[in-house]
Structure 1
Amino acid sequence: MPDYRAPGVFIEEAPVARAIAAVPRSTCLFLGPVRADPAAPRGALPLLDSAGAFAALHGGDAGPASGGSVKAHLLAHAVRAYFAEGGERLYVLPVTAAEGGAPQLADYARALATAAVPDEVGVLAAPGASAWCSDIGGLHRLLADAADEARARRFAVLDAPPDATPAQAAALADALDAGRAALYYPWVASAGADGVRRLLPPSGFVCGLYARVERERGLHRAPAERLHTAAGLAYPLDRAQQEVLNPRRVNCIRQFPGRGILVHGARTLSSSPEWKYVSLRRFVDQIELSVATGLPWVAFEPNGPALWQRVRSAVGDFLHAQWRAGALQGAKPDQAMFVRCDAATMTQQDLDEGRLVCLAGVALVKPGEFTRLRWSWRTA
């Protein structure tokens, strides 16, 4: 404290913890064939904010895609479904078949390897690919690996083939163990701008639902709600079939009387109980990205108690906001989280090498997937 010797008003500048904001994770990247368009921009992928923006760049959702062998322009229809279900920000990565016809696994791999995927992309999908790709399992692995790439923290939304049976969908899920991917089944019927009823890959609808749930309810909420634009299903599932598919990590889309068509599953393809649910994996990724993005100012600050206090305050305030939003368990903040950043979290070697170590923990809220109601009656 300064030594004040005469009366007066004194101003002291004190460092404050800069607020950490939640990083949105609903921006989506679709991969697939588009119409040849010489006017299409090269270099950075353009951000699309509507189906009209996609149509202006690549053509509308009627007619065949490039190559001529794809009967319906499924990617364009998926783009329309994405925005209709609540999506707002979309990138489209064109995929061209090296040998003509419909693109295959190697074509999708080449497109991902040569493109600079924007950092803001949080969700990946290849709508329609399961209708023409000969190696569906390989395509699923490619997307899951791209989502799981170091520091990317993205999530892959996968489709089963349009004519897949429940057993075939389950086999696809069994073949892939991935914490940042989820499989949806079956395909969804929808009427396009021309009024024609078509079967479309579920990933377009589901990615839009992801964006809607994140915006309206928070990323910690399970993306399992009604599809507003669905008009039917390729394979009407019943409860008995879902009781088989759900434990095998297939997210079923079902029609319920009076409720419409719902995404009625929210499981990842991970065999680890820790990462069973889509909402948990994506929410934890958001926390980690938000903290990493919100603390760049730490890099060249003196690594001492004053800085540690500012880091604790910044991270603690961010996690406290998540608790107030209902994303964390606990009746009190100290039951929901802890943040440590002090001499006990760092060794002398850490300090000598310029490393600041912050240890944090959160108590996550899991979806109420199975709700049991116990009733009792008393007779006279």
Structure 2
Amino acid sequence: MPSYFSPGIYVEEVPSAARPIGPAGTSTAAFVGVAPDRGAHLGKALPVNNWSDFLRLYADGENLESTPLARAVFGFLDNGGTRCWVVNVGEGGAITGTGQRRGGLQLLEAVDEISILAAPGFHDPVSHDALLSMAERLRTMVAICDPAPDVEDVSALTRVATPSSGKPPKPSEGTGGSGGSGAGSGDAGPTAHRPRQSDFGAFYYPWLLVRDPLSGELVHTPPSGHMAGIWARTDGLRGVHKAPANEPVRGAVDLAYLVTRPEHDVLNPKGVNVIRHFAGEGIRVWGARTLAAEASEWRYLNVRRLSIAIEQAIANGTRWMVFEPNDFSLWRSIRRDIGAFLTRVWRDGALLGRTAEEAFFVKCDEETNPPDVRDAGMVVAHIGIAVVKPAEFVVFKLSQWAGGTETETIGG
């Protein structure tokens, strides 16, 4: 207590006991691939904040051949992305390190801000598995997998591809990467191109026709970079709870394959997010699913990414609690801080419920922390959220009455 020696009014600044939990970033992407300058910054992960940064770091030379990595970074920035990390694996490089040496994807594990992961130019089953495995292990990001080029048999996109036994994937011509064409060349049975099932991955089809930012020519390119930019744009304009779909693809002038409605009916339930061309509206993303099972609660992309964002925000905002006395005061602080954070999330429209009580709950008391849990040095809080799911199917009821025809929306 301070000492006062004369009568009067004294004002003190007392720190608040509450420690607000801020939102976690969701729009930083990471790209692993082959740079135009094949030898630039090998074995390093470097941040890129604009196209000039990328040119200075990875295309500083003359007569450089463009690559899927360059087109992906440009597409990311063109579609609303603002910051990404880039790893150049060099000519003939792999997206994973070998032996004791870290490389490729492993260089990104120390970068905490990454929430979107892609490897443009690598579209074989081994690369898909590496992307998905990293996202599943870290649980802080979602991986975007690219399809193989020139896939016109859409049924192949519904079958999971597996690597051929003992054979490396064949490089694709004109892609600048070393990814294979899908299923291994030694596989028996029908052709397969779909990545394996995962709650932390997304898959888009088909490739895009874009104007190359280096050569100025029209070329086909994998969609992951443009899709990552749309994710970042949607996060900034609407929030991570908004599904990144029904959005225009900036920079795309055409598609490598035009998917029909019956084909889309087959692909969507299998977790293949189709990019469609609509007359008068241009090219739009028309799917927002993960590679999870059809019945999984994580089958919608925005649900998965919102959950990651909430988990990260809570983990970052409650780090001060580590080594605090595990008593009623700590439990009350946990309920207060997390409750205040989730209330803001609910008010932003990310949680479903007419009231905050309907949208979430936070339970942290002697029931969740019995003596054996406290003796183990743990504090346990149970948190439940009601996440808003996208209106993927909008149903209209058409009826007639004496005054004419009436249309009524009955479901979403």
Instruction: Name the residue aligned to 2:54.
Output: 54
TM-score by length of 2: 0.80
Matched, 1:155 2:142: yes
For residue 397 of structure 2, the aligned residue among 365, 374, 378 is: 374
Report how far residue 139 of structure 1 moved.
1.1
Report how far residue 354 of structure 1 moved.
2.6
For residue 87 of structure 2, the aligned residue among 93, 103, 106 is: 93
Report how far residue 138 of structure 1 moved.
1.6
- The whole-number CA distance in structure 2 between the counterparts of 1:91 and 1:145 is 19
SS in 2 for 1:231: strand
SS in 1 for 2:137: coil
Matched, 1:125 2:148: no
Report how far residue 17 of structure 1 moved.
1.8
Instruction: Name the residue aligned to 1:210.
Output: 231
Larger helix fraction of residues: 1
Matched, 1:189 2:201: no
Structure 1, unpaired ranges of 5+: 1-5, 66-71, 131-135
For residue 198 of structure 1, the aligned residue among 219, 233, 245 is: 219
Instruction: Name the residue aligned to 1:69.
Output: none
Instruction: Name the residue aligned to 1:133.
Output: none
Report how far residue 13 of structure 1 moved.
5.0
For residue 289 of structure 2, the aligned residue among 242, 246, 267 is: 267
116 and 339 in structure 1: CA distance in 2 versus 1, 3 angstrom threshold: closer
Alignment of 1:215-364 (within 5 A): 215-224=236-245, 225-271=247-293, 272-364=295-387
- The whole-number CA distance in structure 1 between the counterparts of 2:45 and 2:269 is 38
What do residues 259-310 of structure 1 show as CA deviations (whole Å, max 9, x unaligned)?
A: 1101100111111521101111111011111100001111122222222111
Of stretches 110-119 and 213-222 in structure 1, the one that deviates more from structure 2 is 110-119
What do residues 81-137 of structure 1 show as CA deviations (whole Å, max 9, x unaligned)?
A: 11000111111111135xxxx44566699522455541111111011223xxxxx11
The CA RMSD measured in Å over matched residues stands at 2.6
Contact 2:95 2:119 in 1 (8 A): no
Instruction: Name the residue aligned to 1:68.
Output: none
Structure 2, unpaired ranges of 5+: 1-6, 161-192, 404-412
Number of residue pairs matched by the alignment: 358
What amino acid does structure 2 have at the position aligned with 1:183?
Answer: F
What do residues 189-228 of structure 1 show as CA deviations (whole Å, max 9, x unaligned)?
A: 1113443211111001001111101111111111111112
Of stretches 301-310 and 210-219 in structure 1, the one that deviates more from structure 2 is 301-310
For residue 176 of structure 1, the aligned residue among 188, 191, 196 is: 196
296 and 10 in structure 1: CA distance in 2 versus 1, 3 angstrom threshold: same
What do residues 164-201 of structure 1 show as CA deviations (whole Å, max 9, x unaligned)?
A: 12223222465511010011000011113443211111
SS in 2 for 1:343: coil
Matched, 1:112 2:135: no
Matched, 1:75 2:60: no
309 and 23 in structure 1: CA distance in 2 versus 1, 3 angstrom threshold: same
